[in-house]
Amino acid sequence: MRPSFFHHLHPPTIPAAQAQWRYTLGAGGIAVMLVLVLLVTGALEMFFYIPTPDQAGPSIQTIAFLVPFGGLVRNLHYWAAQALIVVAAVHLLRVVFTAAYVPPRRFNYLLGLALLVLSLLLDFTGYALRWDEGVRWALVAGTNLLKTVPWMGGGLYALAVGGPEPGGATLIRFYAWHVFGLVLPLVILSAWHLFRVRRDGGIAVPPPTARATAERISRNELVRREALAALIAGVALLALALWRAAPLAPPITIGSVGIAEARAPWFLLWVQQLLRWGDPFWAGVFVPLALTVGLALIPYLLPGPPRSQLGRWFPPGGRLAQIITGAIALLMIGLTVLALYP
Amino acid sequence: MPDVSRRDFLTLLRDGLLAGSGLLALGGLTRFLSYQTEPPPTTEFDLGPAANYPIGSRTRLPDVPAILIHNASGFSALSLVCTHLGCTVEQKVDGSICPCHGSRYDEQGNVLRGPANRPLRALRVEPNAGGHLILHTD
């Protein structure tokens, strides 16, 4: 078979042991597929969505209820966005738990972390575009957190909100960030991330002398497996989109009687739980920022395992990084459960 | 004076100019994005004739948001903006509770339970010449 463009994105052959699902989890590839779904469905939503406080809700209802397949497009966009956060987090854990971040892959680890942060920002800005009672308090609390940053808080708030309180200026700002300001860096960094995978020698593998077998698979087989993963993920996504519609509440009206409980979007529930206990700056800004910086520093500060230990789960040389990252993940999950079931 | 070759000097100059241009652009971008298109929100609310609020009444003013209290010592008002992160607190029988992070306040706006650590803000209420109550949020 004559290799196509997609085949040429892959190395000619890779070691069979590291091409297995149980090693990669397929998370990076599925993340790429989800980003593609998000770009297409997002572009389609732009044909109808109107980023003004009066029109946001009605235009979303037009998409969801009137436009043929509009509900499906919106649900796919919603579920792909939620799945991207999960898949990207799983990908990060896989990389840390297999110590794939050791040189020469340190820089690509940083690119990946930046992509996770961009995905979270995209998810939050997209969530706010609903401009309904369901997002109101998360928007108020989230933007007020910026004010608590020492000496630059007021400036950050003005930059993000564009006014004295969340309003029309905020919605159009979030829209601009969501459809362009964050998407452009996401696409560029994604391409860079994929390029660096090839440049750094493909997936992390042990040196030839440390391999159990010399068996390799061809790029044809690799592309076949990726297509299969995309197909399975696509079916799952479609099932989710048909099973549960993306949420939509009545539009924000000033002075409306609040709802009994105001929940943050699910991926920020752990921060909301921290905020119930702590000072806004420390719990809501410092801790999330410190955790991100801490994760970024792992390949630079902690000793990595020798190359002979690469290509498998939980190499003993990366124990400290595994324990720290595992603890952070458990902490976030624990706080989320606490927020859901107080 | 240390020896700096012409090449080193020019390289330094180039890098300095690039860094300077970058910082200037960043400053300009920050100012561009910080422009505020919306006017500041009103800080004065006309509540209508004082006679509309009999003694002993507690009236919720959702637009502010605040609560107007009329008791033996006269009119007073409490902001309903939680002092923790700005969500609007919900009125309960014996005080108020914030839906976002669970802060509780008593009827006078004092904190009963954190994470808020400051009482609800007391707002100024004054009658104007026409007998209307004016609420000031500044």
DSSP string of A18-38, one letter each residue = GGSHHHHTTHHHHHHHHHHHH
| pLDDT exceeds cutoff 60 at A258 | no
Instruction: Output DSSP code: residue A316.
Output: G
What is the enclosing helix (H) or strand (E) of A151? none
> Does B40 sit within 8 Å of A141, measured CB to CB?
no
Task: Find, in chain A, the residue whose alpha carbon is nearest to that of B33.
Answer: A159
Asked if B97 and B103 count as a contact pair (C-beta separation under 8 A), the reply is: yes
Whole-number pLDDT of residue B92 = 80
Task: Find, in chain A, the residue whose alpha carbon is nearest to that of B90.
Answer: A258
Quickly count: other Cβ atoms within 10 Å of residue A87's Cβ.
23
Mean pLDDT, to the nearest integer, of A208-223?
A: 85
CA distance A78 to chain B (A): 24
Cross-strand bridge partners of residue B126: B134
Tell me the C-alpha distance between A55 and A50, whole Å. Answer: 6
Mean pLDDT, to the nearest integer, of A61-89?
A: 95
B87 touches chain A (CB under 8 A): yes
Instruction: Output DSSP code: residue B85.
Output: T
Whole-number pLDDT of residue A257 = 58
| pLDDT exceeds cutoff 60 at A13 | yes
Per-residue pLDDT of A81-137, as tens digits, reads 999 999 999 999 999 999 899 888 999 999 999 999 999 999 999 999 999 888 888
* List of domains in chain A: 12-261 (1.20.810.10)
pLDDT band at A259 (very low <50, low <70, confident <90, very high): low
Amino acid at B21: S
Nearby residues of B62 by Cβ (< 8 Å), 6 or more positions away: A254, A255, A256, A257
CA distance B117 to chain A (A): 9
Q: How many CB pairs under 8 A join A and B?
A: 76
Percent share of chain A, pLDDT over 70: 97
CA distance B11 to chain A (A): 26
Closest CA to A112 of A320, A299, A334: A299
Q: Please list every residue in chain A whose beta carbon sits closer than 8 Å to the beta carbon of residue B99.
A: 137, 258-262
> Does A163 sit within 8 Å of B38, measured CB to CB?
yes
Per-residue pLDDT of A275-309, as tens digits, reads 988 889 998 899 999 999 999 999 999 878 888 88
Sign for the pseudo-dihedral over CA of A219, A222, A228, A232: negative
Whole-number pLDDT of residue A17 = 81
